[in-house]
Structure 1
Amino acid sequence: MIPVVTDDGATLHVRAYGPADAEPIVLCHGWSCRIEIWNPQINALAGRYRVIAYDQRGHGRSTLGKRTPSADVLGDDLATVLDASLRSRKKAVLVGHSMGGITLMAWASRHPDQVRRFASSLLLANTASGQLAQELNILSLGSLVPRIQSTVGKYVVGAPVAIPRGIVTRRAFHYVGLAPQADKEAVDFCHRIVLSCKARARGQWGWALATLDLTEAVEAMAVPTVVLTGEQDRLTPSVHSLRLAEALDRTGMLDKLVVLPGVGHMGNIEAVDAFNDEIVRLRSRRRRPRRLGAAG
């Protein structure tokens, strides 16, 4: 474990796997998750890479601290983690899923010096730069005006209440989080992790995510970036990833847009091999980013 304490006293649980002198990969998990959500990536990659993962503030074994949850806090926490964990001159591939992708965007915007110093490339998976509440695809809200839809969405993700256990909750989680054809083992694994998140942290972070706007942060992502989405993602529908890809294409930093067919929000669990292949490809890449029209 790598000891990390933020300026406001939050303790961040950081783990490193694999050879200390290997090329680094940093994993930032999503809302209501924890380090273990990266097990398929850690198990596959730690044999030849230095894989660093941490529990986001208020999640897993990390404490919530005194600062009010926000995108700025996510970015600053990542900066603290990188300062503590990347001691070699080797640059890392940084991977962010969902809220973890938001973390990367906020970090790039607030710490551009670290982008140049620590990052070789980025992978934004199942994420968005804003308008999360307006574009949730989990309720039949299509007939509602945007303001009402946004309000409903904020209260759906920001309610600080415990998630009851049971088959109904599990079915609802499957509907929201994974594609209909996701296997039982994947659904159960993700469901257990989300149930472990404390209600207060989940609610505070949910509210913060529902109201964020990181549209301008894309300009600060000055390294080759993969944008990855699931074709059947309900939490961050593909429209978000297409928007990010177009913005990155304009800056010349889009490496590739990846749309995983038959996959929901949990791309790193539902399509492990395809997800890991993109990380390995980024880790070994030497070419300049391609324009959007040429992305596969």
Structure 2
Amino acid sequence: MKPYQQTVPFILALLACLTPFVTSPTALVIGFFLASFGLVPSQVNLAKITKKLLAYSIVGLGFGIHFEQALAVTSNGIGLIITSIVGTLVIGWWLTKLLKLEQKLGYLIAAGTAICGGSAIAAVSPAIKAEDEDIGLALATVFVLNSIALFVFPVIGHALNLDQQTFGTWAAIAIHDTSSVVGAASAYGEEALTTATTLKLARALWIIPVAFLSAFIFRNDSKKITIPYFILFYCAAIAFSDLLPQFEDAYTLIFDISKRALVVCLFLIGCGISVSKLKAAGAKPLIFGVTLWVLISTSSLAWLTLA
């Protein structure tokens, strides 16, 4: 295939990902189809570009975190938040060994389940130096479960007669990505939406300690820890926007651009996945993701309704 026959579809797809019509899961699928049909330019180092763009995107997302509000919500539910995050990571580590799943892949899915889906995976992957293939498989697993949760959670909530606050809290803990949390909660009610959105943004703060912990756990043989410096800039972005609230419009713009950049990242990651790679990975990543998700969903629901 001639270079321009690869480049033209790739550029058109990339431009489409810059529009608001393409969501994160869609971008990943588009990249996957291009890779499967050999329409990804081989002369471009997509892995290097993706890693840098991921870091920039995460820093930009920090401008969308309102520190005082997030801290207040975190302090109100600190026990449940810490227990769910630590519990998910520990159980994920154990399941990874039980299923004999690749360690970094299992850790990425667990981190995405524990905190905030694709954003957590994007933040943790540079800290542990994950391969693009592992990142893509982790994101694909999370997005599949997100799509299911968007429709299933409101049905379960109504069947169990959960009140607005309980459902909002449950959605924020048990659904991976913020977008799906907002979608499920908005379908349930206004109070559920407010509770779920605020709590989910509060959980996003936990990307910071988890990223540093991840760098320590996956340090190389020389025992040298790779410091994820972009997380420091993420903290700086949160502090800057909190100390200078008069620039709220600029922060909103940066946050929106960063979310769109993250969609582009997922497109590029999708370009590194193919049918052959998925077959080689097998069903283990999905089985792992589903098992971990069911455990955290049922246990958190039991905590909220029986406590």
Greater fraction of residues in strand: 1
Q: TM-score range by the shorter chain?
A: under 0.3
With normalisation by structure 1, the TM-score equals 0.26
Larger Rg belongs to? 2
TM-score after normalising by structure 2: 0.25
